[in-house]
Chain A
Amino acid sequence: MTTEAERNPPAPTPTPPRPPRRPLPGLGAFRQTGRLFALAAAVTRAVFKRPFQLREFIEQFWFIASVTILPAALVSIPFGAVIALQVGSLTQQLGAQSFTGGASVLAVIQQASPLIVALLIAGAGGSAICADLGSRTIREELDAMEVMGVSPVQRLVVPRVLATMFVAVLLNGMVSVVGTLGGYFFNVIMQGGTPGAYLSSFSALAQLPDLYVSEIKALIFGFIAGIVAAYRGLHPRGGPKGVGDAVNQSVVITFLLLFFVNMVLTGIYLQIVPPKGG
């Protein structure tokens, strides 16, 4: 046994408090970014670690699917219609009505569909995940879990991130179909386009890689939404109000990241996959 032999703790010397040095502007953002990537790496590693939390995964999958399916379908119909109307009116002025189908379908499948999916996953699923994890963190539940030797990342975050990814992929398929049907309906019925021209231009311009890239985008967007929500949920600042702020931030950060990543992915796709019509 070692006894701390400091019998008389020294009186605190009255040093004048130095003004706290201002941190470099932007340093905090780098730190947050680093931690976000660290969590992404930790989650990726933990995906392959046994035991897999199948039950938690199914529960989360079902929950996220149930809150996103209906809004996604309802959003995708008018969205497909707007694109069809806009593109239709433009092509009419250019005298290229016969290509309306292909153009609007490509826009829906490649851009609109993954983004609609991602916004809904982040807005409906991600906010719920963030609020859930955040309130558990401030109630010390996650600390308790860690103390019991269970990693919260493996036990809670991995099933949620996988759930957002898979729901995003499946939802993306549904939104593509519904959006395309909506576009077809509006072009053929409202604008007097011919069904044959719509379908033939579609098969002339669209190709399978368009669908692949759409699904890959959805997968990546789902991952980002899940990671950002979990990250903000694991580090809320302060009490219950901090959880509210964290939810807010998680949705905003996810949106910002999504549009940026979407731009990058689209750029890469256009570079490496030759267009079919060209």
Chain B
Amino acid sequence: MGIEVVVEGLTKSFGKQNIWQDVTLTLPAGEVSVMLGPSGTGKTVFLKSLIGLLKPERGRVLINGVDMVSSPERDIYETRKVFGLMFQDGALFGSMSLFDNIAFPLREHTRKKESEIRRIVMERVDMVGLLGAEEKLPGEISGGMRKRAGLARALVLDPQIILCDEPDSGLDPVRTAFISQLLIDLNAQIDATMLIVTHNLDIASTVPDNMGMLFRRNLVTFGPREVLLTSEEPVVAQFLSGRREGPIGMSEEKDAATLAMEQLNSPQEYESSPRRIPAQLEPSPGLPARQAVLRRKLRVMAMLDQLPPSARRAIENGMAPTQEATP
């Protein structure tokens, strides 16, 4: 089972520029979470802070009792072995073939025989659909293939926490759908805690159990997917419907004058129609059911009283016809 990731009061700045402040959330063990946010709100920085590549000024990231911000370097290196991080463009080693790239963590951290390494690597290569390309160099394949190879490398040590940085960027809609399904299947198979950073609405609405959103240097909200998907928060509503009217502007945020003008001119019909909540993806046929679903149900039922009414309704509606969702 995956490991819980607890983030407390995390604040990160580069020089004078504050990226985000006081981010507090918990990634529940074994569940899939998505962090949304407009471009340039520090989603990737958040991911790199979780794994200890960047050091926030304040706050803690607790994993198995190790604080990835301020623990000794040796503990951090040890803890990183339970992580798998999929970089935005793969971050493969340019001088090695795909096979050697994917085998790298095995060769560094285990004493497995070469035949066994070959078996494990080929299994992962098959999983991400790269069979036949394993002897190519990263420079010889397309961006989408590099991404999938990066995912295979992140998976090779059977991580308990998987972080994905924009798994969809540079992929076509069909491949994005396949990646979504792959991530859900993965969760069903190894029950790892997963955090996906993205601004793709398809992934955001169908894959996760929990969702959060970063905007204006703050975590707007983080909670069960129904909370965010039914949220009336202007930022969230604007982002999820992908329209121009709202607080998000071309450059990070709009000023008050533009916003007021917009409200005068724009029709208010957006607010009236409640958004439909798409069904969550199920694991492919033949795979075990996701254990996280049951755990999450118990957890969400326990906190039901504290949720906003619209989210509560959505959860209650969603509970009964779970069978209905599968075609």
With A4-B221, A4-B222, A9-B218 given, is the CB distance from A143 to B87 under 8 Å? yes
* Chain B residues whose CB sits within 8 angstroms of the CB of A12 once the complex forms: 216, 253
* A window 118-176: CB within 8 A of B: 136, 139-141, 143-144, 146-151, 155
Q: Does A1 contact B (CB under 8 A)?
A: yes
A1-42 to B contact mask, C-beta < 8 Å, 1/0: 111101101011000000010000000000000000000000
> Would you call B25 and A141 a contact (CB within 8 A)?
no
Q: Closest CB of chain B to A19's CB: distance in Å?
A: 12
B234-265 to A contact mask, C-beta < 8 Å, 1/0: 01000000000000000001001000000000
The CA-CA distance from A4 to B235 in the complex, in Å, is 15
* Chain B residues whose CB sits within 8 angstroms of the CB of A11 once the complex forms: 256
Q: Does B271 contact A (CB under 8 A)?
A: no
Partner of B25, one of A1, A9, A146, A151: A1
For chain B, the count of residues having a C-beta within 8 Å of the partner chain is 45
* Chain B residues whose CB sits within 8 angstroms of the CB of A155 once the complex forms: 108
Q: Closest CB of chain B to A41's CB: distance in Å?
A: 13
* B window 124-142: CB within 8 A of A: none
Partner of B105, one of A1, A6, A148: A148
With A4-B220, A150-B108 given, is the CB distance from A141 to B93 under 8 Å? yes
Give A140's nearest chain B residue, CB to CB: B91
* Chain A residues whose CB sits within 8 angstroms of the CB of B253 once the complex forms: 12
> Would you call A149 and B80 a contact (CB within 8 A)?
yes
The listed residue with most B CB atoms (<10 A of its CB), out of A141, A147, A149, A150, is A147
* B window 194-234: CB within 8 A of A: 210, 215-223, 227, 233
Q: Closest CB of chain B to A236's CB: distance in Å?
A: 16
* Chain A residues whose CB sits within 8 angstroms of the CB of B28 once the complex forms: 1
> Would you call A147 and B51 a contact (CB within 8 A)?
yes
* Chain B residues whose CB sits within 8 angstroms of the CB of A136 once the complex forms: 93-94
> Would you call B218 and A4 a contact (CB within 8 A)?
yes
* Chain A residues whose CB sits within 8 angstroms of the CB of B78 once the complex forms: 149
Give A155's nearest chain B residue, CB to CB: B108
Q: Does B113 contact A (CB under 8 A)?
A: no
Partner of A149, one of B81, B216, B227: B81
Interface footprint category on A? 20 to 34
Give B256's nearest chain A residue, CB to CB: A11
* B window 29-71: CB within 8 A of A: 48, 51, 53
* Chain A residues whose CB sits within 8 angstroms of the CB of B119 once the complex forms: none
Give B105's nearest chain A residue, CB to CB: A148
Partner of A6, one of B104, B157, B210, B218: B218
The CA-CA distance from A20 to B17 in the complex, in Å, is 12
* Chain B residues whose CB sits within 8 angstroms of the CB of A20 once the complex forms: 16
Q: Does B77 contact A (CB under 8 A)?
A: yes
With A147-B51, A150-B108 given, is the CB distance from A4 to B81 under 8 Å? no
* Chain A residues whose CB sits within 8 angstroms of the CB of B292 once the complex forms: none
Partner of A1, one of B22, B26, B77, B104: B26
With A1-B28, A151-B77 given, is the CB distance from A143 to B105 under 8 Å? no
The CA-CA distance from A52 to B216 in the complex, in Å, is 46
* Chain A residues whose CB sits within 8 angstroms of the CB of B235 once the complex forms: 9
The listed residue with most A CB atoms (<10 A of its CB), out of B105, B253, B256, is B105
The CA-CA distance from A12 to B218 in the complex, in Å, is 12
* Chain A residues whose CB sits within 8 angstroms of the CB of B80 once the complex forms: 146-149
Q: Closest CB of chain B to A5's CB: distance in Å?
A: 8
> Would you call A1 and B91 a contact (CB within 8 A)?
no
The CA-CA distance from A12 to B219 in the complex, in Å, is 16
Q: Closest CB of chain A to B11's CB: distance in Å?
A: 13
* Chain B residues whose CB sits within 8 angstroms of the CB of A149 once the complex forms: 77-78, 80-81, 105, 108-109
Partner of B220, one of A9, A144, A148: A9
Give A2's nearest chain B residue, CB to CB: B24
With A4-B23, A141-B94 given, is the CB distance from A146 to B108 under 8 Å? no
Q: Closest CB of chain A to B212's CB: distance in Å?
A: 8
Give A147's nearest chain B residue, CB to CB: B85
With A9-B215, A20-B16, A148-B80 given, is the CB distance from A1 to B53 under 8 Å? no
Q: Does B298 contact A (CB under 8 A)?
A: no
* Chain B residues whose CB sits within 8 angstroms of the CB of A143 once the complex forms: 48, 53, 87, 91
The CA-CA distance from A147 to B77 in the complex, in Å, is 8
The CA-CA distance from A151 to B52 in the complex, in Å, is 13
* Chain A residues whose CB sits within 8 angstroms of the CB of B81 once the complex forms: 148-149
Q: Closest CB of chain A to B188's CB: distance in Å?
A: 22
With A147-B80, A148-B105 given, is the CB distance from A9 to B221 under 8 Å? no
5 A-B residue pairings within 8 Å (CB atoms): A4-B24, A6-B219, A6-B220, A11-B256, A143-B48
Residues of A within 8 A of B (CB): 1-4, 6-7, 9, 11-12, 20, 136, 139-141, 143-144, 146-151, 155
Which 8 residue pairs spanning A and B have beta carbons closest together? Answer: A144-B91, A140-B91, A4-B219, A149-B80, A149-B81, A147-B85, A9-B216, A148-B105
